[in-house]
Chains A and B, each alone.
Chain A
């Protein structure tokens, strides 16, 4: 897969063939700048590759689609809309009663009850991120594409958010593609972890995480899988 910028063709992802199963939680890790986010943007249809293609259910992706919602870092919520207004944003095609039902449902699901009328500027980083996830889920997408969604959060909030995301994923059954540079995060969340190399990115390894949720992050298997990925990326696990 290659992209054209300023008339120059930059190969970003090389010979990369990847299949995501329905309902799967897939994490993509790799060194910074390797093209993880580019791959995710292409899956969302924001970027069209000048070579290569992405197919979902056999159809080539040509543009963005509400069936697969991209979740940015917290900056993606609309500051001019309330919590309710943000969740309602993608529901314009639905009847009023159904809109109200979904707003109430997802506000409760992400734990923002009581903040319906609040504006994003009045929320913490973690709450904004949950709001964005709620906005995405409210349109019932088949896929959630998350681009380092917890990268801007503090480490305690990040841990809570991971647990929340898993809970929501188990309840909703969406396919999740989650880009992160945090190997621990990937091993805690994913069914499979895709390890990318430096640009032009190749798949170095796909690691199946065969630990059932909730995962004990001090178990031998967890550490073994995590260390395997660290080594794969050439990182020593001693500082």
Chain B
């Protein structure tokens, strides 16, 4: 297959499946050959998932994790987008706020755990707050840079037609920046999903993160630990695929020309 040829549909499906099979086979035979008692085989993990489904934990924990990410990420988007757009729109304000933003940004949400527990106690709010923190900064930063990269020609055209600053922001700057905002949201959602696991290891007693730590602590059930890990990976993949669908909306597709 040359790089110019468009891969056929079955080819695009086949090769990832081959890689997956090889991965599972390697995993299976490594477990067999080393005769490890701790590390579960793929089959044991599958049985573990079945056990979780039977107990009703699979849907409940997945639902809890998704709800926390939804709330934390949602709050980050609702607050972060307007704040980011405003800061991008007023470079003077950005200059004032940016040092603080850049200082807070590299602090891992994990480092906030002790403070979050003091502030919100042990319960639902703490993991949601941590996810919010994880997603908020990437959203704000993406929005700031998306506004500053809107071509001046669009702003000029907008002003030429007599738009007020608010109309200009809503009708020109926001749609022009939207493709980049979507990319920022997608990255933030990925981070939020990574953080939910850590957040659920403390403060709550449900969710996929809790499942990882609980399966280990109560009876060293490593089949369930790996089952939870796999579920986290699969759901993360599904969330990302879902977000990628947004790029095909007609009013933003122009912004994703050269991406696959």
Interface assignment of B236: CB less than 8 Å from any CB of chain A: no
B251 touches A70 (CB 8 A): no
B159 touches A80 (CB 8 A): no
* Contact partner, A66, options B160, B167, B250, B255, Cβ 8 Å: B160
A70 touches B160 (CB 8 A): yes
Cα distance A63–B253 in the bound complex, in angstroms: 33
Write out, one digit per residue, whether chain B residues 148-184 have a CB within 8 A of any chain A CB (1) or not (0). Answer: 0001011011011111000100011001101000000
Chain-B contact segment, one of A13-21, A30-38, A71-79, A183-191: A71-79
Cα distance A78–B250 in the bound complex, in angstroms: 13
Cα distance A134–B175 in the bound complex, in angstroms: 21
Cα distance A70–B163 in the bound complex, in angstroms: 14
Nearest residue in B to A70 (C-beta to C-beta)? B160
Cα distance A81–B163 in the bound complex, in angstroms: 16
Interface assignment of B254: CB less than 8 Å from any CB of chain A: yes
A46 touches B254 (CB 8 A): no
B175 touches A69 (CB 8 A): no
Which of A137-153 touch B at CB < 8 Å? Answer: 139
B160 touches A79 (CB 8 A): no
Contacts of B159 in A (CB 8 A): 46, 63-64
Say whether, besides A44-B160, A90-B162, A80 and B252 are in contact (CB < 8 Å): yes
Cα distance A66–B257 in the bound complex, in angstroms: 32
Write out, one digit per residue, whether chain A residues 44-76 have a CB within 8 A of any chain B CB (1) or not (0). Answer: 101000000000000000011110011010011
B172 to chain A, nearest CB (A): 7
Cα distance A76–B155 in the bound complex, in angstroms: 10
A64 touches B151 (CB 8 A): no
A80 touches B176 (CB 8 A): yes
Residues of A within 8 A of B (CB): 44, 46, 63-66, 69-70, 72, 75-76, 78-81, 89-90, 92, 119-121, 139
A–B Cβ pairs within 8 angstroms, 10 of them: A46-B159, A66-B161, A72-B153, A75-B153, A78-B154, A80-B251, A80-B252, A81-B175, A92-B163, A119-B253
